[in-house]
Homo-oligomer: A and B are copies of this chain.
Amino acid sequence: MARKKSRKPHGAIMGGMDERPGFLIRRAHQISQAVFIQECESLDITATQFGVLSVLMRAGELNQISVARLLGYDRSTTGLVVKLLEDRGMIVRTADPADRRGHVLRLTPSGKTMQRRAAPLVDRVRDRLVEAFTPAEAATFIKLLIKFTRSFEDIERVPPLHRASDG
């Protein structure tokens, strides 16, 4: 019944909702997550966790709030992800002697290994995501996404510390 399913081009039911940026972005995110999980399944790591590992690999050591700002994560989210990575032995947390509120995060050898192993897989994720685009389209897509996110830099709870504005 429901499905004889009609020949309606789907827009008839969606009423244009499937052309809203919010709707499309949600789908894009869903897809991006799925591809990441697929590619990195052998390492059992998520995109969020990889982000934390990567900034720590670059920076050496940071406290949670810096990690949150760099990645645009919420403070709470960051706290939970960091705890998870700590439980998995990829991060160590030591009290910050200079600021006793904070904890300094650092990668363990295991964490570094994970980041190094994941990096090429994450490159593959990027390649797969833009596979359907021409190189020009891919560049435009990235460019517009950057413009989009930049234009909302101040919407979050933890301001993302983008732009090197002080310099």
Contacts and interface: CB of A to CB of B under 8 A. Distances in A.
Interface of A: 1-10, 12-15, 17, 19-36, 47, 51, 54-55, 58-59, 61-63, 66, 70, 72, 98-99, 122, 125-126, 129-133, 137-138, 140-142, 144-152, 155-156, 161-167
Copies in the complex: 2
Contacts of A33: 22
Nearest to A98: B1
A59 B155 contact: no
A22 B47 contact: yes
Nearest to A72: B27
A131 B2 CA distance: 39
B31 A155 contact: yes
